[in-house]
C-alpha cells in the first residue's frame, strides 16, 4: 500500500477534468477535505457525480484567469494540486492565445494566490512536451530541447515561474511532468480527444481509427493510478532536496502507436469479435508531435519513493473495462 495524504484541506484546480477528478476522488477516499475549482471548459459535471454530495467536497465554479476566483479557492488550503489548463498540442496550434492565457496567465494567478494564502505546497501538472526536440531517450529531467508547440512552451514557462516563485517568495512547489496519461474518465469525444479513448470509442463503434503517421511513433503511456500516486507522494515528501523540483511521471516503457492499436483491439475484441477484423487507417503526421517519448523515472523513484503500480497492459485492461461499462 502506498503512502497517502490524509486529514488535509486540498484544492484541485481542473477537478472536473480527467486527471483532476481522479485526484479529487482519491483525496476524498483518503480522508481529506477537497475543493475543486473548474470552469467546465473541457471538464464535465458527470465527472463529479460520485462526490458532489459528499460533505467534504466543495465545488467552486470559476476561472483561473480571474484572480478573485483564485483567491477564493485557496482560502484555508494546505495543498494545491493545479491541473487546470487547456491540453492538446493541436488545440494550442489552432488557438495559441487562449492556451497561453489559461496555461500561463491562469497558472501565475493560481501560483500567486497560493503564495499569498501561505499554502504548504503548490503541486502542478507539468508535461513531457517540455522535452521538445531533445533527442535523448529516456528523457531525464535536466535535459530539455526547444519546444515543438505553443502548448509545450506554456508548460515550460510554468516550470520557470514555479522555480522563480520558490526562489523569490519561498513557496514550495513540485512539478510533475506527466507522460501521456490514460484511464477512466478520459474524454473520448471531440476534436482534441487523446489517442487511447479515441481508439477505444472508434473500435466500440466498429469504425477504423486513424493513426497519424506510420504508427512507429512511440509514447510512454501512463495509467492514471500511477499519476495519482505521484501526486500524493509529491505532497508527502519531507526531504528538502525533493521540493522545488520537477519529476517525470510515467511508467518507463515505450509503446508504438501500432502496438497500442493492436493491444486495444484485442481487449475490446474480447467481448465483440467483429472488432478483431478492424484495421487502422494511416494519415499524415501531425505538426508539433514528438516522434518518440520515454521517461526515466529514476528521479521520482529516488526522491519521492514513486513506484508505479500499473504497466500499460494492466492499465489498459482497467481502462477498456471502464469504457465498456460507461460509453
Ligand X SMILES: NC(=O)c1ccc[n+]([C@@H]2O[C@H](COP(=O)([O-])OP(=O)(O)OC[C@H]3O[C@@H](n4cnc5c(N)ncnc54)[C@H](O)[C@@H]3O)[C@@H](O)[C@H]2O)c1
Closest approach of Cβ 139 to ligand X, in Å? 13
Nearest residue to 304 (alpha-carbon basis) of 228, 252, 234? 234
Instruction: Name the minimum Å distance from CB 236 to ligand X.
Output: 20
Q: Which three cell numbers stand for residue 294?
A: 520515454
Q: How many residues bind ligand X (CB under 6 A)?
A: 28
- Cβ neighbour number for residue 54 with a 10 Å cutoff: 14
Among 10, 32, 33, 39, binds ligand X (CB under 6 A): 39
The radius of gyration computed from the CA coordinates of the chain, to the nearest angstrom, equals 19
Angle between helices 107-116 and 150-169 (to 10 degrees): 20
**Does residue 18 interact with ligand X by CB under 6 A?**
yes
Phi, psi (degrees; rounded to nearest 5) at 91: -60, -40
Is 151 labeled as catalytic in the residue annotation? yes
Which stretches within the chain are classed as H helix? 18-29, 67-74, 89-94, 96-100, 107-116, 150-169, 195-204, 224-236, 257-269, 298-304, 312-326
- Give me the least distance between CB of 106 and ligand X, in Å please: 5
Residue 49 binds ligand X, judged by CB under 6 A = no
Nearer to ligand X (CB atom), residue 32 or residue 130 = 130
Tell me the residue length of the chain. 327
In angstroms, the Cα distances linking 49 to 100, 154, 216 are 30, 31, 38
The yes or no reply on residue 43 touching ligand X (CB under 6 A) is yes
Q: Does 38 bind ligand X (CB under 6 A)?
A: yes
| By CB under 6 A, residue 114 contacts ligand X | no
**Distance in Å, CB of 7 to ligand X, minimum:** 25
Site string for ligand X, 115-134 (x = CB under 6 A): ----------x-x-------
**Binders in 199-228 for ligand X, by CB under 6 A:** none
Task: State the minimum distance, in angstroms, from the CB of residue 261 to ligand X.
Answer: 18
When the beta carbons of 17 and 308 are compared against ligand X, the nearer one is 17
Distance of CA 216 to the CA centre of its chain: 23
| 92 lies in the binding site for ligand X (CB under 6 A) | no
* Range in contact with ligand X (rule: CB under 6 A) among 39-47, 284-292, 296-304, 315-323: 39-47
Binding residue for ligand X, selected from 26, 32, 83, 245, defined by CB under 6 A: 83
Q: Which of 10, 87, 173, 297 binds ligand X (CB under 6 A)?
A: 87
Contact assessment for residue 58 and residue 35, using Cβ atoms and an 8 Å cutoff: yes
Asked if 111 is part of the footprint of ligand X (rule: CB under 6 A), the reply reads no
State the Cα angle at 90 between 313 and 177, rounded to 5°.
50
Q: Does 197 bind ligand X (CB under 6 A)?
A: no
Q: Is 285 helix (H, G, I), strand (E, B) or coil?
A: coil
Contact assessment for residue 21 and residue 47, using Cβ atoms and an 8 Å cutoff? yes
Q: How far is the CB of 270 from ligand X (least distance, A)?
A: 25
Exposed, middle or buried by CB within 10 Å (0-12, 13-18, 19+), for 18? Answer: buried
Would you count residue 84 as binding ligand X (CB under 6 A)?
A: yes
Nearer Cβ to ligand X (63/172): 63
Site for ligand X in 257-316 (CB under 6 A): none
Catalytic residue among 79, 124, 151, 156: 151
Phi-psi region of 151 (alpha: psi -120 to 50; beta: other; left: phi over 0): alpha
Give contact residues for ligand X (rule: CB under 6 A): 14, 16-20, 37-43, 63-65, 83-87, 102, 106, 125, 127, 178, 180-181
Give catalytic residues, as residue numbers: 151
Amino acid at each position: 500500500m502506498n503512502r497517502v495524504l490524509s486529514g488535509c484541506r486540498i484544492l484541485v484546480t481542473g477537478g472536473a477534468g480527467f486527471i483532476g477528478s481522479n485526484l479529487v476522488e482519491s483525496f476524498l477516499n483518503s480522508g481529506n477535505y477537497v475543493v475543486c475549482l473548474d470552469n467546465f471548459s473541457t471538464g464535465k459535471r458527470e465527472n463529479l457525480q460520485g462526490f458532489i454530495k459528499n460533505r467534504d467536497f466543495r465545488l467552486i465554479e470559476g476561472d483561473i484567469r480571474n484572480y478573485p476566483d483564485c483567491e477564493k479557492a485557496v482560502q484555508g488550503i494546505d495543498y494545491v494540486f493545479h491541473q487546470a489548463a487547456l491540453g492538446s498540442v493541436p488545440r494550442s496550434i489552432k488557438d495559441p492565445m487562449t492556451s497561453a492565457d489559461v496555461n500561463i496567465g491562469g497558472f501565475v494567478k493560481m501560483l500567486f494566490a497560493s503564495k499569498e494564502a501561505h499554502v504548504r505546497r503548490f503541486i502542478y501538472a507539468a508535461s513531457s512536451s517540455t522535452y521538445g526536440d531533445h533527442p535523448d531517450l529516456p528523457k531525464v529531467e535536466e535535459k530539455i530541447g526547444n519546444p515543438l508547440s505553443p502548448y509545450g512552451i506554456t508548460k515550460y514557462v510554468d516550470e520557470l515561474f514555479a522555480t522563480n516563485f520558490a526562489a523569490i517568495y519561498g513557496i514550495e512547489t513540485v512539478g510533475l511532468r506527466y507522460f501521456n496519461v490514460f484511464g477512466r474518465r478520459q474524454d473520448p469525444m471531440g476534436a482534441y480527444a487523446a489517442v487511447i479513448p479515441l481508439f477505444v470509442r472508434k473500435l466500440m463503434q466498429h469504425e477504423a481509427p486513424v493513426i497519424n503517421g506510420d504508427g512507429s511513433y512511440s509514447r510512454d503511456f501512463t495509467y492514471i493510478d500511477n499519476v495519482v500516486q505521484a501526486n500524493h507522494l509529491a505532497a508527502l515528501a519531507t526531504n528538502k532536496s525533493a521540493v522545488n523540483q520537477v519529476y517525470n511521471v510515467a511508467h518507463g516503457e515505450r509503446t508504438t502507436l501500432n502496438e497500442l492499436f493492436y493491444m486495444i483491439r484485442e481487449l475490446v475484441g474480447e467481448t465483440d469479435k467483429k472488432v478483431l477484423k478492424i484495421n487502422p487507417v494511416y494519415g499524415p503526421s501531425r505538426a508539433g508531435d514528438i516522434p518518440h517519448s520515454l521517461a526515466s523515472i529514476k528521479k521520482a523513484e529516488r526522491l519521492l519513493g514513486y513506484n508505479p503500480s500499473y504497466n500499460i497492459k494492466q492499465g489498459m485492461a482497467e481502462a477498456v473495462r471502464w469504457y465498456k461499462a460507461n460509453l
